[in-house]
Amino acid sequence: MRILDTLKLEGKVIIVTGAGRGLGRAMALALADAGADIVAAARTQAQIDETATLVYEQGRRCHAIATDVTSSASVNAMVETVIREFGRIDVLVNNAGGASSGWQKPVEAITDEQWRGGMDLNINSAFYCCRAVIPHMLSQGGGKIINVTSGVGVRPMKYNYMYATAKAGMINFTRALAFNYADRNIQANLILPGIFPHEDPAMMQFWQGGKYIPVGRVGKDEELGPACVFLASEASNYMNGEMIALEGGGLAGGEVPTGFAPIFPLQGADR
Protein backbone atom coordinates (compact mmCIF):
# COMPACT_ATOMS: atom_id res chain seq x y z
CA MET A 1 0.00 0.00 0.00
CA ARG A 2 3.07 2.23 -0.30
CA ILE A 3 1.66 4.32 -3.14
CA LEU A 4 -1.47 5.16 -1.15
CA ASP A 5 0.71 6.15 1.82
CA THR A 6 2.48 8.77 -0.30
CA LEU A 7 -0.91 10.42 -0.83
CA LYS A 8 -1.41 11.03 2.88
CA LEU A 9 -0.81 14.46 4.40
CA GLU A 10 -0.48 13.71 8.10
CA GLY A 11 1.46 16.37 10.01
CA LYS A 12 1.42 18.87 7.16
CA VAL A 13 0.29 22.47 7.66
CA ILE A 14 -1.57 23.88 4.68
CA ILE A 15 -2.76 27.45 4.07
CA VAL A 16 -5.81 27.75 1.83
CA THR A 17 -6.80 31.28 0.80
CA GLY A 18 -10.43 31.91 -0.05
CA ALA A 19 -11.31 28.91 2.12
CA GLY A 20 -14.62 30.31 3.34
CA ARG A 21 -16.70 28.85 0.57
CA GLY A 22 -16.83 27.10 -2.79
CA LEU A 23 -13.68 25.57 -4.19
CA GLY A 24 -11.50 26.79 -1.32
CA ARG A 25 -13.66 25.10 1.27
CA ALA A 26 -13.88 21.92 -0.79
CA MET A 27 -10.10 21.77 -1.07
CA ALA A 28 -9.57 22.58 2.63
CA LEU A 29 -11.88 19.74 3.66
CA ALA A 30 -10.23 17.24 1.32
CA LEU A 31 -6.76 18.21 2.54
CA ALA A 32 -7.92 17.80 6.15
CA ASP A 33 -9.47 14.47 5.27
CA ALA A 34 -6.06 13.34 3.98
CA GLY A 35 -4.57 14.29 7.35
CA ALA A 36 -3.42 17.91 7.09
CA ASP A 37 -3.93 20.75 9.54
CA ILE A 38 -5.51 23.72 7.80
CA VAL A 39 -5.20 27.47 7.91
CA ALA A 40 -8.36 28.92 6.39
CA ALA A 41 -7.63 32.46 5.24
CA ALA A 42 -10.31 34.71 3.77
CA ARG A 43 -11.92 38.07 4.38
CA THR A 44 -15.17 36.95 6.02
CA GLN A 45 -14.59 35.54 9.51
CA ALA A 46 -18.02 33.89 9.74
CA GLN A 47 -17.39 31.85 6.59
CA ILE A 48 -13.92 30.62 7.54
CA ASP A 49 -15.20 29.84 11.04
CA GLU A 50 -17.74 27.56 9.38
CA THR A 51 -14.96 25.89 7.35
CA ALA A 52 -12.95 25.49 10.58
CA THR A 53 -15.89 23.77 12.27
CA LEU A 54 -16.13 21.31 9.39
CA VAL A 55 -12.39 20.62 9.57
CA TYR A 56 -12.57 20.05 13.35
CA GLU A 57 -15.37 17.55 12.71
CA GLN A 58 -12.82 15.60 10.65
CA GLY A 59 -10.51 15.54 13.65
CA ARG A 60 -7.96 18.03 12.30
CA ARG A 61 -6.84 21.41 13.53
CA CYS A 62 -7.97 24.48 11.64
CA HIS A 63 -7.04 28.06 12.29
CA ALA A 64 -9.45 30.55 10.70
CA ILE A 65 -7.55 33.77 10.13
CA ALA A 66 -9.45 36.71 8.66
CA THR A 67 -7.16 37.94 5.90
CA ASP A 68 -7.43 40.51 3.14
CA VAL A 69 -5.22 38.89 0.50
CA THR A 70 -5.17 42.12 -1.50
CA SER A 71 -3.13 43.68 1.32
CA SER A 72 0.47 42.51 1.73
CA ALA A 73 0.42 43.69 5.38
CA SER A 74 -2.60 41.48 6.08
CA VAL A 75 -0.98 38.52 4.31
CA ASN A 76 2.30 38.97 6.20
CA ALA A 77 0.44 39.12 9.51
CA MET A 78 -1.47 35.93 8.63
CA VAL A 79 1.74 34.05 7.77
CA GLU A 80 3.40 35.23 11.00
CA THR A 81 0.43 33.92 12.96
CA VAL A 82 0.66 30.55 11.21
CA ILE A 83 4.35 30.21 12.02
CA ARG A 84 3.68 31.18 15.65
CA GLU A 85 0.80 28.71 16.04
CA PHE A 86 1.91 25.77 13.88
CA GLY A 87 5.65 26.35 13.53
CA ARG A 88 5.74 25.46 9.83
CA ILE A 89 4.04 25.79 6.43
CA ASP A 90 4.19 22.81 4.09
CA VAL A 91 1.72 23.80 1.40
CA LEU A 92 0.22 27.07 0.23
CA VAL A 93 -2.98 26.98 -1.85
CA ASN A 94 -3.56 30.30 -3.63
CA ASN A 95 -7.24 29.93 -4.31
CA ALA A 96 -8.63 33.42 -3.54
CA GLY A 97 -9.95 35.15 -6.62
CA GLY A 98 -12.98 36.33 -8.50
CA ALA A 99 -14.05 37.34 -11.99
CA SER A 100 -16.55 40.07 -11.19
CA SER A 101 -14.33 43.17 -11.25
CA GLY A 102 -14.96 44.88 -14.59
CA TRP A 103 -16.52 41.92 -16.33
CA GLN A 104 -19.29 41.99 -18.89
CA LYS A 105 -17.71 45.17 -20.21
CA PRO A 106 -15.83 45.98 -23.39
CA VAL A 107 -12.25 46.94 -22.74
CA GLU A 108 -12.89 50.67 -23.21
CA ALA A 109 -15.50 50.68 -20.43
CA ILE A 110 -13.31 49.12 -17.74
CA THR A 111 -12.14 51.62 -15.11
CA ASP A 112 -8.70 51.78 -13.52
CA GLU A 113 -10.24 50.77 -10.20
CA GLN A 114 -11.93 47.71 -11.68
CA TRP A 115 -8.77 46.57 -13.43
CA ARG A 116 -6.50 47.16 -10.44
CA GLY A 117 -9.00 45.69 -8.01
CA GLY A 118 -9.20 42.51 -10.09
CA MET A 119 -5.42 42.22 -10.37
CA ASP A 120 -5.07 42.78 -6.62
CA LEU A 121 -7.48 39.98 -5.84
CA ASN A 122 -6.43 37.47 -8.49
CA ILE A 123 -2.70 37.77 -9.00
CA ASN A 124 -1.13 40.26 -6.57
CA SER A 125 -2.64 38.20 -3.75
CA ALA A 126 -0.74 35.10 -4.92
CA PHE A 127 2.47 37.11 -5.13
CA TYR A 128 2.02 38.47 -1.59
CA CYS A 129 1.32 34.98 -0.20
CA CYS A 130 4.26 33.36 -2.01
CA ARG A 131 6.62 36.15 -0.95
CA ALA A 132 5.63 35.68 2.68
CA VAL A 133 5.61 31.85 2.68
CA ILE A 134 8.60 30.87 0.53
CA PRO A 135 11.30 31.92 3.06
CA HIS A 136 9.73 29.53 5.59
CA MET A 137 9.58 26.74 3.02
CA LEU A 138 13.23 27.29 2.14
CA SER A 139 14.31 27.12 5.78
CA GLN A 140 12.26 23.93 6.22
CA GLY A 141 13.91 22.34 3.17
CA GLY A 142 11.01 22.57 0.74
CA GLY A 143 7.31 22.95 0.24
CA LYS A 144 4.51 22.99 -2.28
CA ILE A 145 2.54 25.81 -3.83
CA ILE A 146 -0.77 25.12 -5.53
CA ASN A 147 -2.17 27.99 -7.58
CA VAL A 148 -5.71 28.02 -8.88
CA THR A 149 -6.16 29.26 -12.43
CA SER A 150 -9.15 29.08 -14.73
CA GLY A 151 -10.10 27.91 -18.20
CA VAL A 152 -10.34 31.63 -18.95
CA GLY A 153 -6.60 31.81 -18.26
CA VAL A 154 -6.02 29.55 -21.26
CA ARG A 155 -8.87 30.54 -23.59
CA PRO A 156 -10.32 34.03 -23.13
CA MET A 157 -14.01 34.43 -22.66
CA LYS A 158 -16.15 37.22 -24.03
CA TYR A 159 -15.99 40.47 -22.00
CA ASN A 160 -13.88 38.95 -19.28
CA TYR A 161 -10.58 40.79 -19.83
CA MET A 162 -9.35 41.22 -16.28
CA TYR A 163 -9.88 37.60 -15.26
CA ALA A 164 -8.39 36.26 -18.50
CA THR A 165 -5.29 38.39 -17.96
CA ALA A 166 -4.87 37.66 -14.26
CA LYS A 167 -5.44 33.91 -14.60
CA ALA A 168 -3.00 33.66 -17.53
CA GLY A 169 -0.57 35.56 -15.33
CA MET A 170 -1.11 32.98 -12.62
CA ILE A 171 -0.02 30.23 -15.01
CA ASN A 172 3.28 31.85 -15.91
CA PHE A 173 3.87 33.02 -12.32
CA THR A 174 3.59 29.37 -11.32
CA ARG A 175 6.00 28.27 -14.03
CA ALA A 176 8.47 30.95 -12.98
CA LEU A 177 8.26 29.85 -9.34
CA ALA A 178 8.77 26.23 -10.37
CA PHE A 179 11.77 27.05 -12.50
CA ASN A 180 13.44 29.19 -9.84
CA TYR A 181 12.85 27.03 -6.76
CA ALA A 182 12.89 23.49 -8.17
CA ASP A 183 16.47 22.92 -7.06
CA ARG A 184 15.49 23.86 -3.50
CA ASN A 185 12.64 21.35 -3.39
CA ILE A 186 9.71 23.70 -3.83
CA GLN A 187 7.11 22.53 -6.32
CA ALA A 188 4.59 24.99 -7.74
CA ASN A 189 1.69 23.59 -9.75
CA LEU A 190 -1.74 24.63 -10.94
CA ILE A 191 -5.28 23.43 -10.64
CA LEU A 192 -7.58 24.55 -13.42
CA PRO A 193 -11.18 24.07 -12.39
CA GLY A 194 -13.75 24.20 -15.16
CA ILE A 195 -17.40 24.83 -14.35
CA PHE A 196 -18.10 24.10 -10.68
CA PRO A 197 -21.47 25.62 -9.71
CA HIS A 198 -21.32 24.24 -6.13
CA GLU A 199 -24.94 23.09 -6.44
CA ASP A 200 -26.12 26.70 -6.70
CA PRO A 201 -29.41 26.38 -8.65
CA ALA A 202 -28.97 29.72 -10.44
CA MET A 203 -25.48 28.71 -11.59
CA MET A 204 -26.68 25.25 -12.59
CA GLN A 205 -29.35 26.89 -14.71
CA PHE A 206 -26.96 29.38 -16.29
CA TRP A 207 -24.51 26.65 -17.24
CA GLN A 208 -27.41 24.43 -18.37
CA GLY A 209 -26.18 21.61 -16.19
CA GLY A 210 -23.05 21.43 -18.34
CA LYS A 211 -24.76 20.00 -21.39
CA TYR A 212 -22.21 21.63 -23.74
CA ILE A 213 -19.27 20.23 -21.78
CA PRO A 214 -17.89 17.12 -23.52
CA VAL A 215 -18.55 14.83 -20.54
CA GLY A 216 -22.08 16.24 -20.40
CA ARG A 217 -22.07 17.54 -16.86
CA VAL A 218 -20.56 20.18 -14.60
CA GLY A 219 -17.85 19.49 -12.04
CA LYS A 220 -18.58 18.24 -8.54
CA ASP A 221 -16.85 19.81 -5.55
CA GLU A 222 -15.70 16.40 -4.34
CA GLU A 223 -13.64 15.99 -7.54
CA LEU A 224 -11.48 19.04 -6.83
CA GLY A 225 -10.25 17.98 -3.42
CA PRO A 226 -8.40 14.87 -4.62
CA ALA A 227 -6.49 16.87 -7.26
CA CYS A 228 -5.40 19.25 -4.51
CA VAL A 229 -4.43 16.34 -2.24
CA PHE A 230 -2.38 14.78 -5.05
CA LEU A 231 -0.52 18.04 -5.69
CA ALA A 232 0.04 18.60 -1.95
CA SER A 233 1.41 15.08 -1.49
CA GLU A 234 4.76 13.42 -2.11
CA ALA A 235 3.16 11.50 -4.98
CA SER A 236 3.57 14.61 -7.16
CA ASN A 237 7.15 15.47 -6.19
CA TYR A 238 8.45 15.41 -9.77
CA MET A 239 5.58 17.55 -11.08
CA ASN A 240 6.64 21.17 -11.20
CA GLY A 241 5.28 24.16 -13.08
CA GLU A 242 2.45 22.01 -14.41
CA MET A 243 -1.30 21.76 -14.26
CA ILE A 244 -4.19 19.45 -13.53
CA ALA A 245 -7.24 20.68 -15.42
CA LEU A 246 -10.62 19.43 -14.24
CA GLU A 247 -12.95 20.69 -16.91
CA GLY A 248 -14.70 17.79 -18.56
CA GLY A 249 -12.77 17.75 -21.83
CA GLY A 250 -13.51 21.19 -23.28
CA LEU A 251 -9.88 22.23 -23.60
CA ALA A 252 -9.02 19.13 -25.62
CA GLY A 253 -11.10 20.27 -28.55
CA GLY A 254 -12.60 23.64 -27.83
CA GLU A 255 -16.15 24.00 -26.71
CA VAL A 256 -17.63 23.61 -30.15
CA PRO A 257 -17.67 19.84 -30.71
CA THR A 258 -20.43 19.18 -28.21
CA GLY A 259 -22.34 22.44 -28.23
CA PHE A 260 -21.94 26.08 -27.41
CA ALA A 261 -21.20 27.65 -24.06
CA PRO A 262 -23.64 30.33 -23.01
CA ILE A 263 -22.26 33.83 -23.58
CA PHE A 264 -22.61 36.41 -20.86
CA PRO A 265 -24.58 39.48 -21.95
CA LEU A 266 -22.61 42.66 -22.40
CA GLN A 267 -23.34 45.43 -19.96
CA GLY A 268 -22.72 49.13 -20.44
CA ALA A 269 -22.39 49.16 -24.22
CA ASP A 270 -24.69 48.57 -27.17
CA ARG A 271 -22.85 45.89 -29.01
Partner 1 sequence: MSSNAFALGGKSALVVGANNVVGCAVATALAEAGADVVVATSTPSAQEEAAVQLCISQVHALGRKGFAHTLDATNEREVGELVQRTVAELGRLDILVNAQDRAFAKPTAETTLHEWRRVLDVNLTIPYLTCRAAAGAMQAQGAGRIINIVSLLGERGMANGAAYCAAQGGVLNLTRAVALEWARSGITVNAIGAGWTEGMGFMANEALQQQLLRYIPSRRLAQPEDIAATAVYLASDMTGFVTGQVIWVDGGMRTRL
Shortest Å distance, C-beta 270 to partner 1: 37
The angle subtended at Cα 137 by Cα 135 and Cα 141, nearest 5°, is: 115
Q: For partner 1, what does the binding mask look like between residues 135 and 174, x meaning CB under 8 A?
A: ----------------------------------------
Of the candidates 128, 159, 161, 163, the residue annotated as catalytic is 163
Q: Is 181 a catalytic residue?
A: no
Rule CB under 8 A: is residue 93 a binding residue for partner 1?
Answer: no
Convert residues 16-45 into a mask of x (bound to partner 1 by CB under 8 A) and - (unbound): -------------xx--xxx----------
Which of 101, 219, 232, 261 touches partner 1 by CB under 8 A?
219
Q: In whole angstroms, how close is the CB of 213 to partner 1 at the nearest point?
A: 8
Residue in 251, 259, 264, 266 binding partner 1, rule: CB under 8 A = 251
Residue 159 beta carbon to partner 1: minimum distance, rounded to whole angstroms? 26
Point out the residues that are catalytic: 163
Enumerate binding residues for partner 1 (CB under 8 A).
1-4, 6-8, 29-30, 33-35, 175-176, 178-179, 182-183, 194, 214-217, 219-220, 222-223, 225-227, 229-230, 235-249, 251-253, 257-258
